[in-house]
Each structure stands twice: as structure tokens, then as C-alpha cells.
Chain A
């Protein structure tokens, strides 16, 4: 409670409030009051909020309807499945590449060839080659998250002070011990930076995947709603996607802080 009170007392709180009010009122002003040529097509914030929170929404979807949550669930499951795959494969490959010079020399050129390809350019191929609807969408999202994870993990392993390896060997560590006690903890900060990025890209890819190839899911309905001129729903789903992306990134940071108590201690000591 005191934290909330302190927050409310801080000048930044009022500035933040002012910024928000400014944003929403100018949105309202531009779309409703001024009705400038291009702006008047866009729904104003009030009608978005009304639709979002209506018990009986105009277009059938709101906080109080089941389809809304079904769409959310579809997108979450797809994104998290792809993300989990990227974590497992990306982190392992990154660690192997960072640890073994020889494997690095053999795999890095291939990674470098595939990396500049925007993940979304995989969509047509994935749709044609992979069976079903779910697999292509998840695959494209996986590819997107995978490269960010591999590269950051690799950077993480390379960032570890060489003396830690030597010190561990002096103390009698075998390669297995070095993997679990030096390589993995030492690269965790970079891995989690990579996971944050990967999560962002994953959410972006899921939307594109769902628009192009999907059935259901937030991305799919953003496009469907637009085709039916239900722009309140479009904006509603945009913010929902933003919210989900934000929550995912907070969750990653939380897990990261749990696993890296020493980083927290370092920040405090400073």
C-alpha cells in the first residue's frame, strides 16, 4: 500500500498520467471531434473500450464472451509451444557452439546463412511443406525465436571470463562439471536477454502466421475483423496482443531473476 501511495506522490506519476490522458484525448479528438479525412475511419478510444467491456458486444467479442478467451488461448498455446522449442534447441545449440571451437567453425557459417532471412519469409514454404494448419504457424514462430536464442546463448558462452574455466579445472572439475557450473550459469544473463528478444519476435511471427495461414487466434481475427470493417475489434485485439507480449516478457524477467540471484545481488551492491 505504501508503495502505491509513494507512487502517487511522485511527480513522475502525474507526468505519466498526463501522458496517457494526452494520448487518449488526442486520439479521441482526432477521430471524433475533428473528423479529419483519414482519421474519421478509425474508431475512437471510447467506442473501443465500450465494445471491449460490453456484456452484449456489437461484434460478438468482448471481455465477457467466450470466443475472446478462446482466441487468446489459441495464440498463447502456439506461441509458447514454438518458444519452448526455441529454448530447448536454441540454448543447447548455442552452448555447444560456444563451447567447442570446432563445432562452432562447422555450424556458424550455416547459422549465418539462415539468420538474415526474415523468419516470416518462411511462411509460404512452411505452409506448403508441413501438413495441417497448426504446424506451419508454429514452425515459423519457432524459427523466429530460435535464431535469437542461439545467437545470444553463443554470445553468452563467449562472454564468460576464461579464468573461470581454468579455475574450475584447477579445482578438479571435469567437462560435465564445467558445463553445469561454469558454462550454463555464466551464459544465463545473455540467454535471458535472448529469450526476451525471442519472445518479442515470436509474438510478432504468430500474428503474421495466423493472418496468412491460421485458423482462429488473435492474429487471424484481427484480419477477419478488418475485412468485416469491425475496427473496434481490431484495436481491441491489438491491445490484447500487446498485453500478452508484455506479460510474457515480464514473466521471462521474473524467471530470470529467480535463476540469477547473484545478478540481483550485484545490482544491489552497486
Chain B
């Protein structure tokens, strides 16, 4: 698995207006930033700010109404063009989207088998070896509902990774997990990333999570979403949990917290205005 071929994403002046003729909601405005190939980028910002719009457009679920998004120099989305979802850009969903009617191994091999990239037995072998490598044994014949939500998330991430996507997008994937499971998931994700860095687009609310995992944290403003600040995380990789005790980490955290706090206040006031 060293096909981390590229996966550079450029978001250029992207904008999204929902229902331009009707209620006219500006979800995203003039948004520009890049995800370098093999970079782990987290996007944080108030909820409902349009982070998901960007992710959905890259994934091919949604469109933008201005600007453009490029992948490896190829136009992926513009007001005229959209690229339907495909295995080069895989999403891990907030609520989890393992097919409940397929076993763990059937879920993992789903992509390669229906794309006819692999024969079923070969894919099954690969699924089991992937599972074993991340310490999951004897789960391949289980149904997702028989697993804890943490294990379900890991399986879903493997289901995405087996396709060798150029970019992986995770939309608040650990939101529903408790603190312990979350920390396990972070290390799981980091190990996979260190082993084979590929572009990651990670949406989260959790600042610690964003700093601990990412190379770059993009802070978005309240709706309409714009880039407020891009913070480079200069922590060495491979990262282990003790980085959070370092001076750099604490500084970044403090910095990030004050920026986010400012936005949160604005969002809160906007909310008050809407209620009034």
C-alpha cells in the first residue's frame, strides 16, 4: 500500500449559495486553502458553518456556486462541473455508514469487489490481514451491530482505506465516542497515517483532536464560512500521546482557543439576533 499517489486538493475562492432565488443562504464564501498531497488537514469551526459543504463537494455529493476545487491539478468542481462520488475520494460518515446487512469482511471488501479490482477470495484475505494488523481478530464474520461503536469506526476506516483513495474525508467521525474510545481511535488513525500518509480532510469540533492529528488546522468563520486562520502544527511525527505535554502544543492550543472563542461569540450573538 504505497500508492499514496498525490491527492493534492486546491480550494480556490469556493462559494456556495443555497436556493439563490429563494431564501438565499450563503453557506460558504470566498474560501481558499490547499491540502498538500499526504497532508493531514483538520477543519474546525462553529457547527452549521459550511465545513461539510466543502467536504461534500470534494466527495461529489454537492456542488459549489462559485470558485473551483482542483485535485492534482485537475478540475474537480466548479459552478459548471461536478465529479460524481468515486473510490478516489472516500468519506467516513459522522453517524457511521457501515452496511448493517453486510458482515465486517463483506463491508471491507465491498469497494474492491464491485469495482472488480480484486477477486472476492483475494479481497477477503486482504480484509482479514488489514483487520489483524490493527489488532481486530475474529470480527470478520460479525455484523456491525455486534461491535462496539469504536470498532465499527475502525472497520469503516479500513473499508475506505482498502480502496487506496487519494483523499480520505472524515466528517466528525469520533463525535459519538467516549473519551477513552476516542483516544484509541486517534492512535489507530495516526498509525495508519504514519505508515502510509495520504491526504486527509478531517472535520471536527474537538481542538485537541485537531492539533494532535493534523499538519494543518483550518479555522472557519461563522456562516458564511470563510477561512479565518490556517495554523501549521509543527509537531514531529510519528506522534505519540506525550506531545500534548509539550510547550509547542500548549501554545498552539491557547492560540487556537482564542481564535475559536472569538468566532463562537460571534455565532452566539448571531443566534441571539435570529431568535429576537
Contacts and interface: CB of A to CB of B under 8 A. Distances in A.
B146 A167 contact: no
A171 B101 contact: no
Contact of B114 (A173, A185, A186, A268): A173
Nearest to B98: A167
A164 interface: yes
Interface in A193-222: none
B146 A182 contact: no
Contact of A163 (B93, B101, B146): B93
B111 A166 contact: no
Given A161-B95, A172-B87, A166 B61 contact: yes
Contacts of A167: 91, 93, 97, 99
A269 B145 contact: yes
A165 B111 CA distance: 13
Given A169-B84, A171-B87, A173-B114, A266 B143 contact: yes
Contacts of A169: 60, 84-86
B239 to A, nearest CB: 27
Contacts of B100: 262, 266
Interface string A249-265: 00000000000111001
Contacts of A166: 59, 61, 85, 91, 93, 97
A163 B52 CA distance: 14
Interface in B93-128: 93, 95, 97, 99-102, 110-111, 114-115
A268 B145 CA distance: 9
A262 B142 CA distance: 9
A81 B42 CA distance: 59
A172 B115 contact: yes
Contacts of A163: 93, 95, 97
B163 interface: yes
A172 B93 contact: no
A262 to B, nearest CB: 4
Contacts of A174: 114
Interface residues of B, number: 29
A171 B111 contact: yes
A181 B110 contact: yes
B85 A170 contact: yes
Nearest to A167: B97
B91 A181 contact: no
B99 A164 contact: yes
A112 interface: no
B24 to A, nearest CB: 24
Contacts of A164: 97, 99
A262 B107 CA distance: 13
B15 to A, nearest CB: 23
A188 B102 CA distance: 13
B159 interface: yes
A170 B87 contact: yes
A261 to B, nearest CB: 7
B89 interface: yes
Contacts of B115: 171-172
A172 B143 contact: no
- Interface centre among A170, A182, A260, A261, by most chain B C-beta atoms within 10 angstroms, is A170
B11 interface: no
- Interface centre among A185, A260, A265, by most chain B C-beta atoms within 10 angstroms, is A265
Contacts of B143: 261-262, 265-266
A255 to B, nearest CB: 16
Contact of B145 (A161, A171, A188, A265): A265
B190 interface: no
Contacts of A186: 101
B97 A171 contact: no
Nearest to B148: A269
Given A163-B93, A170-B85, A260 B159 contact: no
B145 A170 contact: no
A166 B156 CA distance: 14
A253 B41 CA distance: 49
B84 A170 contact: no
A181 B99 CA distance: 9
Interface string B144-165: 1110000000000001100100
Interface string B229-247: 0000000000000000000
Given A166-B97, A177-B114, 19 more contacts: A161-B97, A163-B93, A167-B93, A169-B84, A170-B89, A170-B91, A171-B111, A181-B99, A181-B110, A181-B114, A185-B102, A262-B101, A262-B102, A262-B143, A265-B142, A266-B146, A268-B146, A269-B145, A269-B146
17 contacts: A161-B97, A166-B59, A166-B91, A166-B97, A169-B60, A169-B85, A170-B59, A170-B85, A170-B86, A170-B91, A172-B86, A172-B163, A173-B114, A181-B102, A262-B102, A262-B145, A266-B100
Interface of A: 161, 163-164, 166-174, 177, 181-182, 185-186, 188, 260-262, 265-266, 268-269
